[in-house]
């Protein structure tokens, strides 16, 4: 499929900035939708001056239907990543998650329908599955809203799919499992570990070490988005993007400490624990549907790929200009 122009919402964020960079470098014509702010900041895209001249930036708010429609004019494909994603923040501010994640997605598919957009890729999350009832988790696994965040993403997914079923809007739902890599917020566990060790801390403050996750290096997630964008067979589908490799948080800590040549002690921080019934204990992706329909395959799969991705992430955080933005001594909700 050939697209004249691709709108990327959430282009200022962690995954969105990597995706925007990659698409521009591959020769796509991209409009980056970034959140309006008085600092004239484009988020992580400010760290990509090499693509600035080739980038069309739209500053707005995904919650504003008029702005969304204006941003989408002239685009024939949309990669929708804009969302609130911090789980702890969703416990005390759930209204903002409904407005941003559910209503924001409604604005996207409404505009796409009226403008006859050729492809909409909506971003879900593995959190919608809750604690795995079976593994590996297929796309047919029951959905469980174990946090206001995951509940809002379930709602957003269903809004997006309803437009495919009701109006033939060409929607695909991509469901990334836990993505990690350079630029990720310190609210996530891998940057939390790396930044604490980088600051010379030997006694790490962490939450629950028992849960398992299917971690995905960010370039694998980015290429999964591209593969879905280019696949006619993906329309109307929900597709897991995961490495197919399961590892516990505790083992992840030990791997990072070893790679950073550091001996650490782990202290439980009660503020970093989710409420007991809200904790997702196990995530492990079955990515076979995505592989079959698009030909995508993870380049950082398995334990060797995971260690390679961790090493590249550590190297990025090791640069002073990169870690400068992180408040290592504070818990990032």
Other Cβ atoms less than 10 A from the Cβ of 2: the count is 8
* DSSP state letter for 318: T
Find the farthest-apart pair of alpha carbons in the chain and give their distance in angstroms, rounded.
Answer: 57
Query: Helix or strand or coil: residue 117?
Result: coil
pTM exceeding the 0.85 threshold for the entire prediction: yes
pLDDT digit string, tens, across residues 22-43: 999 999 999 999 999 999 999 9
**DSSP-assigned beta bridge partners for residue 119:** 77
* Burial environment of residue 23 by CB neighbours within 10 A (0 to 12, 13 to 18, 19 or more): buried
User: Please, where are the H alpha helices in the chain?
Assistant: 14-25, 65-72, 87-92, 94-97, 104-114, 148-167, 189-198, 218-229, 249-259, 288-294, 302-317, 320-323
Reading the chain (333 residues) residue by residue, the pLDDT tens digits are 589 999 999 999 999 999 999 999 999 999 999 999 999 999 999 999 899 899 999 999 999 999 999 999 999 999 999 999 999 999 999 999 999 999 999 999 999 999 999 999 999 999 999 999 999 999 999 999 999 999 999 999 999 999 999 999 999 999 999 999 999 998 899 999 999 998 888 889 888 999 999 999 999 999 999 999 999 999 999 999 999 999 999 999 999 999 999 999 988 887 888 899 999 999 999 999 999 999 999 999 999 999 999 999 999 999 988 888 788 777 777
Angle at 173 between CA 169 and CA 179, to 5 degrees: 150
CA 176 remoteness from chain centre? 7
Domains in the chain and their CATH numbers? 6-180+216-241 (3.40.50.720)
The Cα–Cα gap between 222 and 19 comes to: 5
**DSSP-assigned beta bridge partners for residue 33:** 9, 58
CA 39 remoteness from chain centre? 24
The Cα–Cα gap between 77 and 284 comes to: 30
Task: List Cβ neighbours of 3 (8 Å cut-off, separation of 6 or more).
Answer: 28, 29, 76, 77, 118, 119, 229
pLDDT digit string, tens, across residues 126-171: 999 999 999 999 999 999 999 999 999 999 999 999 999 999 999 9
Task: List Cβ neighbours of 250 (8 Å cut-off, separation of 6 or more).
Answer: 209, 210, 266
* DSSP state letter for 248: E
As given in the structure block, the two tokens for residue 230 are 């280019």
The Cα–Cα gap between 308 and 259 comes to: 10
The CB-side HSE value for 297 (13 A sphere, CA atoms) comes to: 5
Task: List Cβ neighbours of 218 (8 Å cut-off, separation of 6 or more).
Answer: 14, 15, 18, 179, 180, 181, 182, 183, 184
Instruction: Tell me the Cα Rg of the chain.
Output: 19
The predicted structure's pLDDT at residue 159: 98
As given in the structure block, the two tokens for residue 181 are 């890599």
Q: Which helix (H) or strand (E) holds 159?
A: helix 148-167
Q: Which helix (H) or strand (E) holds 217?
A: strand 216-217
As given in the structure block, the two tokens for residue 94 are 């759930």
């Amino acid at each position: 499929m050939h697209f004249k122009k691709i709108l990327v919402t959430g282009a200022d964020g962690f995954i969105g900035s990597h995706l925007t960079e990659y698409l521009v470098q591959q020769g796509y014509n991209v409009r980056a939708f970034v959140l309006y702010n008085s600092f004239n900041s484009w988020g992580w895209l400010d760290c990509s001056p090499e693509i600035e001249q080739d980038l069309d930036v739209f500053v707005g708010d995904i919650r504003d239907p008029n702005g969304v429609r204006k941003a989408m004019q002239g685009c024939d494909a949309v990669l929708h990543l804009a969302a609130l994603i911090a789980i702890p923040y969703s416990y005390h501010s759930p209204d903002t998650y409904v407005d941003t994640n559910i209503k924001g997605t409604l604005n996207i598919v409404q505009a796409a329908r009226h403008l006859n957009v050729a492809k909409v890729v909506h971003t879900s999350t593995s959190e919608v599955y809750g604690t795995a009832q079976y593994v590996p988790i297929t796309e047919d696994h029951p959905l469980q809203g174990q946090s206001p965040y995951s509940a809002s993403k379930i709602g957003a997914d269903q809004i997006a799919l309803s437009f495919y079923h009701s109006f033939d809007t060409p929607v695909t739902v991509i469901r990334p499992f836990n993505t990690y890599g350079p630029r990720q917020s310190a609210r996530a566990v891998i940057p939390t570990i790396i930044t604490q060790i980088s600051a010379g801390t030997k006694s790490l403050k962490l939450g629950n070490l028992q849960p398992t996750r299917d971690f995905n290096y960010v370039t694998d997630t980015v290429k999964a988005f591209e593969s879905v964008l280019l696949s006619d067979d993906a329309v109307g589908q929900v597709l897991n993007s995961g490495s197919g490799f399961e590892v516990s948080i505790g083992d992840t800590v030990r791997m990072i400490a070893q790679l950073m040549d550091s001996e650490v002690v782990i202290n439980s921080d009660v503020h970093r624990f989710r409420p007991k019934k809200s904790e997702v204990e196990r995530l492990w992706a079955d990515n076979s549907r995505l592989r079959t329909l698009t030909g995508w395959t993870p380049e950082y799969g398995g334990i060797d790929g995971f260690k390679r991705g961790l090493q590249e992430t550590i190297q990025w955080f090791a640069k002073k200009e990169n870690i400068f933005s992180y408040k290592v001594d504070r818990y990032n909700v």
